[in-house]
Amino acid sequence: MKQKDIEQIIHDDHTGMSLIVKTVARMMIAVIILFAFYIILYGHLTPGGGFAGGVILAIAYTLMMLAFSRKMALHKFSDFWASFWDNIGMLAFIILGFLGLNSGYFLYNFIWHGKPFHLVSAGIIPLANIAIGVKVGACLYAIFIGLSIYGRLIIKEEE
């Protein structure tokens, strides 16, 4: 998909929703993703965390799919990469748990805790939040992909 096709999707009235929705979505999606990263990264200081931030991250891409089209969202974040980041997040969380075995028990908080109320503090908790956020975001978006494209996607190439 080239730049020309993307612009055609944005300006075409027949793909996706109306012009108002498209304009608002184009402005909001980046802000929503930024907010999701804020929620994930500050999970150990403010309310929120990996699960909530991941859901917001998934919502941004779902909004992209609803406002523009299936083709646009799959161009930005395809089902392969959704599944890939899902696996990476899960693997990172489990590896973080196993690294704790080195100095104690499974999921031991082995990194220096730092000063409370600072961004770099609380040992493995921010890292685990990031892993869970990536995992949940990719995973919920992948569920939406699975429900919307599979079975409808016409497969062109032959076996």
Partner 1 sequence: METFFIIMLVLMIIGAIIAVETKNMLSAVIAAGVVGFGVSVLFLFLKAPDIAITQVIVEVLSLIILIRVTTKADNEAIERKIDSFANIAGLVFVGIFVGFCIWAFVDMTPFGTPLMRVSQHYLSAGLEETGAANTVAAVILDYRAYDTLGEAVVIFTSILGAFVILRSRGKKKIYEEDYVKVGIPE
Is 65 one of the binding residues for partner 1 (CB under 8 A)? Answer: no
CA distance 12 to 107: 51
Q: How far is the CB of 22 from partner 1 (least distance, A)?
A: 28
Residues 101/105/108/112 CA torsion (nearest 10 deg): -70
Selected range binding partner 1 among 17-25, 31-39, 68-76, 135-143, rule: CB under 8 A: 135-143
Backbone phi and psi for residue 118, each to the nearest 5 degrees, phi listed first: -100, 160
Nearest CB to partner 1, comparing residues 23 and 104 = 104
Is 49 one of the binding residues for partner 1 (CB under 8 A)? Answer: yes
CA distance 159 to 150: 18
109's tokens: 């908080």
| Residues binding partner 1 (CB under 8 A) | 43-47, 49, 51, 83, 86, 89-90, 93-94, 97, 106-107, 109, 113-117, 121-125, 128-129, 132, 135-136, 139, 142-143, 146-147, 150-153, 155, 159
